[in-house]
Amino acid sequence: MIAVAELNIAKKSRKFNDFDYYEHNYADYFLLPFRFISLNEEKEVLVNEVGDFLIVSKGTAERIILKQLNSSDEELYADLIANFFISKERIPVLIDVIATRYRTKKSFLDHFTALHIFVISLRCEHTCHYCQVSRVSEDKSAFDMSRSHIDKGIALMMQSPNPHVTMEFQGGEALLAFENIKYAVIQAKEIAVRFDKEITFVICTNLAPVTLEMLAFCKEHEILISTSLDGPEFIHNKNRHKKGNDSYQLARRGIDLTREVLGEDGVSALLTTSTLSLDYPNEIVDEYYNLNFGSIFLRPISPFGFATKNAKKNKYNTERFLEFYKKGLDRIIEYNLNGRSFREDYATILLKKILTPFPVGYVDLQSPAGMINNVIVFNYDGKIYASDEARMLAEMKDFTFQLGNLDTSSYNDIFYSDKAIAITEAGINESLPGCSDCAFQSYCGADPVLCHSTQGDMYGHRPTNVFCQKNMAIIKHLFELMDSDPRILKVFNNWVRGN
């Protein structure tokens, strides 16, 4: 009986069906979650829940939603199916794949806080007009972190469930308290053995006080150096004032000396963009390029702390910064098209979120926001803050984001308090008005400190939010560049791969 049934099925299958049987119904599908936004007069971009994107003709999103696809959309239909924008079934067969990819995007949460910032001293020999903290003169050692607070900070760092932590020393000028840095590094390394933790050490410094003895210690303990460089000499000296007007020369001397001892990759540099800087994007990019840095971070000034007191030198609107950013990025891309890899760091972070399934470690572009989840700050006086920006805000007597004190607070008091939970909730862009339905939501983050500082509450108002305006404009610009020239897309992929 089975053989006869199989034979009958075989015979039936050999008959030609009616023509309508072979006509594909391109409207027979289910929508999966995706968002969309116009790029220009001709194109729009579709982005799904896991960050996959398609750049399509204007009006395509409407046709997909209204199920108006037809036989001329065969390639589009295949792309939509393959990239999880639509599904032939109500629940996609590969829903577990989608779930895995979403978990991968959020895997930065797996191990909790990694970066522990120790503000080792407020002393500083520079008087930068955009300084975001209340610096004090070199001789006031009362503004150094006590060794008791260093010990308590290390103890809290060891309680982090993350097996890989970073201990970063900031100031003021951190090197003015180098003996305490030495003490902290040796203590942390000894204790880390008991907790089976790997520690990366970083010193943030203007390099003016650096000596060969300091660098020898850094080499012995594999300490990385992060310095400041605001561009050519006339910009750097204006921005980072020092008696004697030799800030730039000292920075260059420090960079050369650090590379000599620690190697080319032993020092990185960070730009702060003042009002003066905005007129010289090419000159600033050229400075980094000519000094053989592999990248430059074109970042706006942060509207926190004492930086806000000098509005003439430090305050500018987002549109001006974006003009500066785009010109600088054009210059960087030009260098790459001419054969040398040279990255823009902020674009590279965004592109990693756009072009790969992996998360990023940059706290401003994480959701939930990276503060607390990825970074914590131990101030020189023992106070604990949710982020470095939160510490800057506290210098203006706003302690909204203070989480505790090294002398009195337990690990649970700091990381699981009602305040920590409230801050975290305000930093989840999937649930924020204006973010939840934004096409770029999966590429962006949230910044409760910036919202509180500029708009009066941790949630903010997206249409007038500078964080939102900046990121939307830059992400849209990156999409337009990728779509305009396949050579630029190749450059961007090289940045993401670290080439």
Instruction: Find the DSSP H helices in 88-223.
Output: 95-105, 147-158, 178-195, 212-220
- pLDDT, one tens digit per residue, over 276-301 is 999 999 999 999 999 999 999 999 98
Check whether 17 has a pLDDT greater than 80.
no
> Given pLDDT bands bounded at 50, 70 and 90, which one contains residue 6?
very low
- pLDDT, one tens digit per residue, over 79-94 is 999 999 999 999 999 9
Beta strands in 58-205 (DSSP E): 86-87, 115-119, 164-170, 198-204
Check whether 41 has a pLDDT greater than 70.
yes
Mean pLDDT estimate for the chain: 90
> Given pLDDT bands bounded at 50, 70 and 90, which one contains residue 165?
very high
- pLDDT, one tens digit per residue, over 421-477 is 999 999 999 999 999 999 999 999 999 999 999 899 999 998 899 999 999 999 999
pLDDT of residue 499: 72
pLDDT of residue 8: 42
Beta strands in 30-171 (DSSP E): 30-31, 34-38, 43-48, 53-57, 86-87, 115-119, 164-170
What single DSSP character describes residue 85?
S
Q: How many residues does the chain have?
A: 499
- Angstrom CA distances, 442 to 1, 107, 156, stand at 57, 14, 32
Beta strands in 281-354 (DSSP E): 295-296, 343-344
Check whether 373 has a pLDDT greater than 50.
yes
Nearest 5°: the CA angle 57, 60, 65 is: 170
> Given pLDDT bands bounded at 50, 70 and 90, which one contains residue 140?
low
CA–CA separation, 200 and 396 (whole Å): 31
CA–CA separation, 114 and 158 (whole Å): 10
> Given pLDDT bands bounded at 50, 70 and 90, which one contains residue 395?
confident
Does the predicted model carry a pTM greater than 0.85?
A: yes
Check whether 39 has a pLDDT greater than 90.
yes
Q: Which domains does the chain have, with CATH numbers?
A: 22-105 (no CATH), 109-428 (3.20.20.70)
Q: Residues 127, 135: contact at Cβ < 8 Å?
A: yes
Percent of the chain with pLDDT over 90: 79
pLDDT of residue 386: 96
- pLDDT, one tens digit per residue, over 126-136 is 666 556 555 55
